[in-house]
C-alpha cells in the first residue's frame, strides 16, 4: 500500500516536472514573438495589453465549454488571484518596455533573475532552502551570466532596458511566490483563469491611461499577438500546474530552461549569434535544471503553504 502511494506521489511530481518544462518552452517564445511584433510597428504597451486580452478571452471560452465548475472559487481567493494578476501585469509592462530596448537573448537572461527573487522571498517567509537547491540555482545563473555576456554591451541605451527587465524579474518572482500560496486553496486551473484576468484588467487600464490612440495593427501583427496570447495562457496553466506539485522554487528553476529555448529561437529566427562562452552557459543551464528531476525522484517534497502577506 505504501509503495503504491509512493509511486503515485512520484508520478505526481514527474507530471509537475513535465509541466514545468512545457511552461519553459512556451515562455521561451515570449521575447521572440515580442521582437517580431515590434517589427510590425506594434508598441510595447499595445502588445502587452492585447496579448493578455487574447489570453484571458481564450481561457474564458475554454473554461466555459469544458470546465464551467472551475469558475466558482471563494470571493477572498478571487480577490487574491486578481491582485496577483495585477502584479504580473505591471511586471509584463516593464518586460515589454525593456524588450524594445535590448535584444532577445539578453532580455531572456535578465527576466530569468526572477528565480533568485523566488528564493529570496521564500527564505524570508521562513521556508528552508537546501544546499542542493542553492548550488543548482547558482549553476543555472552562472550559465545565464555566460549566455548574457554583459561585458560585450557597448550601447548605453541598453541600460534602461536592462533596468526594466530586472524590475520585471522582481515582480514576477513575487507573483510566483504569491501564486504558490493561492494554490493551497484552489485548483491550479481556477487560479490561472483569474490571475490572467487580473493581468488583462491591469494592462488594459494602463493602455487606456497611456493617452495615445491604438495604432493600426496589420494582419501579420495580429497573428503574432494571437500566438503570444495563446502561449501566455498555456504557459501559465502549465506553470501553476507545476507549482501545485513541486512548489515555487523547483518550478522557478525548471523555468530557467526558457532561456535556452529563447536562445535557440533567437539564433534561428532573429539571426542573433552566440560565442563559445554563451554556448557553455547554455550547457550549464541545462545541467542545473536537469538536477530538479534527480532531486524530486529522491523524494523532495514541495514546500509547505504560507501566507506571503506576512513576509
pLDDT digits (tens, 9 = 90+) for 182-228: 777 788 888 889 999 999 999 999 998 877 788 888 999 999 999 99
**Domain presence at residue 22:** yes
Domain that holds residue 109: 6-303
**Domain presence at residue 310:** no
Mean pLDDT throughout 86-110?
A: 88
The confidence score (pLDDT) of residue 231 equals 94
Rounded to the nearest 10 degrees, how much is the dihedral formed by the CA atoms of 80, 85, 88, 92?
A: -160
**Are the beta carbons of 173 and 118 closer than 8 angstroms?**
yes
pLDDT digits (tens, 9 = 90+) for 250-262: 777 777 778 778 8
Mean pLDDT throughout 36-60?
A: 94
pLDDT at 124 over 90: no
The confidence score (pLDDT) of residue 307 equals 45
**Domain presence at residue 269:** yes
More confident: 184 or 93: 93
C-alpha to C-alpha distances, 75 to 85, 88, 228, nearest whole angstrom: 15, 20, 30
Q: What is the total count of domains within the chain?
A: 1
| pTM for the model | 0.79
The confidence score (pLDDT) of residue 302 equals 40
The confidence score (pLDDT) of residue 114 equals 78
**Domain presence at residue 112:** yes
Give dist(CA 153, CA 298) in Å, integer: 42
**Domain presence at residue 311:** no
**Domain presence at residue 192:** yes
Per the prediction, the chain carries an average pLDDT of 80
Amino acid at each position: 500500500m505504501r509503495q503504491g502511494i509512493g509511486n503515485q506521489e512520484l508520478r505526481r511530481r514527474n507530471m509537475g516536472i513535465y509541466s514545468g518544462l512545457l511552461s519553459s518552452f512556451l515562455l521561451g517564445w515570449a521575447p521572440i514573438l515580442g521582437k517580431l511584433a515590434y517589427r510590425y510597428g506594434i508598441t510595447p504597451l499595445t502588445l502587452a495589453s492585447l496579448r493578455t486580452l487574447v489570453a484571458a478571452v481564450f481561457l474564458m471560452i475554454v473554461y466555459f465549454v469544458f470546465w464551467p465548475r472551475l469558475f466558482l472559487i471563494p470571493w477572498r481567493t478571487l480577490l487574491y488571484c486578481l491582485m496577483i494578476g495585477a502584479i504580473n501585469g505591471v511586471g509584463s509592462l516593464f518586460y515589454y518596455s525593456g524588450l524594445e530596448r535590448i535584444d532577445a537573448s539578453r532580455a531572456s537572461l535578465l527576466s530569468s533573475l526572477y528565480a533568485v527573487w523566488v528564493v529570496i522571498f521564500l527564505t524570508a517567509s521562513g521556508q528552508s532552502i537546501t544546499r542542493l537547491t542553492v548550488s543548482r540555482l547558482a549553476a543555472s545563473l552562472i550559465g545565464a551570466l555566460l549566455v548574457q555576456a554583459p561585458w560585450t554591451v557597448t550601447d548605453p541605451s541598453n541600460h534602461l532596458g536592462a533596468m526594466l527587465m530586472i524590475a520585471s524579474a522582481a515582480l514576477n518572482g513575487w507573483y510566483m511566490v504569491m501564486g504558490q500560496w493561492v494554490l493551497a486553496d484552489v485548483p491550479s486551473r481556477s487560479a490561472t483563469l483569474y490571475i490572467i484576468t487580473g493581468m488583462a484588467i491591469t494592462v488594459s487600464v494602463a493602455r487606456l491611461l497611456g493617452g495615445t490612440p491604438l495604432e493600426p495593427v496589420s494582419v501579420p501583427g495580429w497573428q503574432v499577438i494571437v500566438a503570444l496570447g495563446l502561449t501566455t495562457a498555456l504557459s501559465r496553466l502549465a506553470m501553476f500546474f507545476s507549482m501545485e506539485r513541486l512548489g515555487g522554487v523547483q518550478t522557478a528553476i525548471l523555468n530557467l530552461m526558457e532561456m535556452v529555448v529563447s536562445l535557440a529561437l533567437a539564433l534561428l529566427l532573429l539571426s542573433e549569434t552566440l560565442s563559445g562562452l554563451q554556448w557553455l552557459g547554455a550547457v550549464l543551464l541545462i545541467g542545473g535544471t536537469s538536477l530538479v528531476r534527480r532531486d524530486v525522484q529522491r523524494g523532495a517534497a514541495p514546500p509547505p503553504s504560507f501566507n506571503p502577506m506576512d513576509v
